[in-house]
Structure 1
Amino acid sequence: MISIGSEIPAVNVTVVTPEGQEAAVASELFAGKKVVLFAVPGAFTPTCSAHHLPGYVVLADEIKAKGVDMIACISVNDAFVMKTWGEQQNAEAITMIADGGAAFTKALGLTMETGDFGGTRSQRYAMIIEDGKVTTLNVEEPKQFEVSKAETILAAL
């Protein structure tokens, strides 16, 4: 599993943009920036939609005021789902990233198998990345929502 001090892997992801989507290499996307990256098990799921993403939307200005260049949400969903979910959540300040085939999540060692819920998904986590290197990593225990929420990450900044 990725840990504090690890470099973000050079794995392809899809960044959702107002114009549609664009391919990116994660290590390049986060290079030279201070980034808060949080992962959810699935777009439109209860905790993710009611608390996780909305918390970052509400606190985006405060997080960015701490010198953060990008707040990004990643999920093992396709770009179309991430775009629609971001629009419905008014997440203009959040960079929505699709990890459709779970390549990024697998490279981090943060997958979980959910069976009929959706198969391979991401564990719930949040990390702070500085110039491509992990400086904070908060991985939730199963069915928990404490260490990855926006308030916790804001306090860590």
Structure 2
Amino acid sequence: MIEQGQVLPVITLSQLTDDGMKTLTNNDLFEGKKVVLFAVPGAFTPTCSNAHLPEFITLADKIKAKGVDAIYCVSVNDAFVMKAWGDSQNAEEILMLGDGDASFTKALGLDKDTAGFGGIRSMRYAMIVENSVVTGLFVEQDKEFAISRAEAILEKL
């Protein structure tokens, strides 16, 4: 599992925009930026849709006021699903990123096998990344939702 102080592995994530599909790399996402990235087990799932993403939407301005350049939401879903989920939640302040093949999630060592529920998914976590270096990592235990909440991250900034 990636740890605080480590540089993120070289990755690509996908974003569907009104102009089409974009493939984004570490340089695009993290170079010269302070970012809050949070990951959820699945788009449109109960805790993710009812609490995790909405809290980050609600607190986005306060998080950015602490010197954060961008907030990213990642899930092991394709970019089409992530865009639809973001649109349904009015997540204009959050960059919705698809990790369709779980390559990013696996590279971080933050994947879990949910078997018949959905296969390989991401653990629920949030991280603070400064210029591609993880400066804060908050990984939830199974069925927990406390340390990766937007309010908890706001306190760490």
Q: How does 1:70-109 map to 2 (within 5 A)?
A: 70-109=70-109
Q: How does 1:123-138 map to 2 (within 5 A)?
A: 123-138=123-138
Letter of the 1:38 counterpart: F
- How far is 1:28 from its partner? 4.1
Equivalent residue, structure 2, for 1:150: 150
Secondary structure in 1 aligned to 2:144?
coil
Higher mean displacement: 26-35 or 1-10: 26-35
- How far is 1:16 from its partner? 3.3
- How far is 1:13 from its partner? 1.1
| Contact preservation (8 Å) 1:11, 1:27 | no
Distance 1:139 1:25 in 2: 23
| Contact preservation (8 Å) 1:10, 1:28 | no
Secondary structure in 1 aligned to 2:24?
strand
Secondary structure in 2 aligned to 1:135?
strand
Task: Mark the runs of 5 or more structure 1 residues left unpaired by the alignment.
Answer: none
Higher mean displacement: 11-20 or 59-68: 11-20
Distance 1:7 1:18 in 2: 31
Task: Mark the runs of 5 or more structure 2 residues left unpaired by the alignment.
Answer: none
Letter of the 1:2 counterpart: I
TM-score normalised to structure 2 length: 0.97
Distance 2:20 2:84 in 1: 11
| Contact preservation (8 Å) 1:37, 1:128 | yes
Q: How does 1:6-21 map to 2 (within 5 A)?
A: 6-21=6-21
**Deviations 1:106-129 (Å, cap 9, x if unpaired)?**
000000000111100000000000
Equivalent residue, structure 2, for 1:61: 61
Letter of the 1:122 counterpart: S
- How far is 1:21 from its partner? 2.4
| Contact preservation (8 Å) 2:15, 2:83 | no
Distance 1:59 1:18 in 2: 25
Q: Percent sequence identity over matched residues? A: 59
Distance 2:95 2:63 in 1: 14
TM-score normalised to structure 1 length: 0.97
Distance 1:23 1:44 in 2: 22
Distance 1:95 1:123 in 2: 19
| Poorly superposed stretches of 4+, deviation over 4 Å | none
- How far is 1:17 from its partner? 2.6
What's the RMSD between the two structures over aligned residues?
Answer: 0.9
Equivalent residue, structure 2, for 1:49: 49
Equivalent residue, structure 2, for 1:24: 24
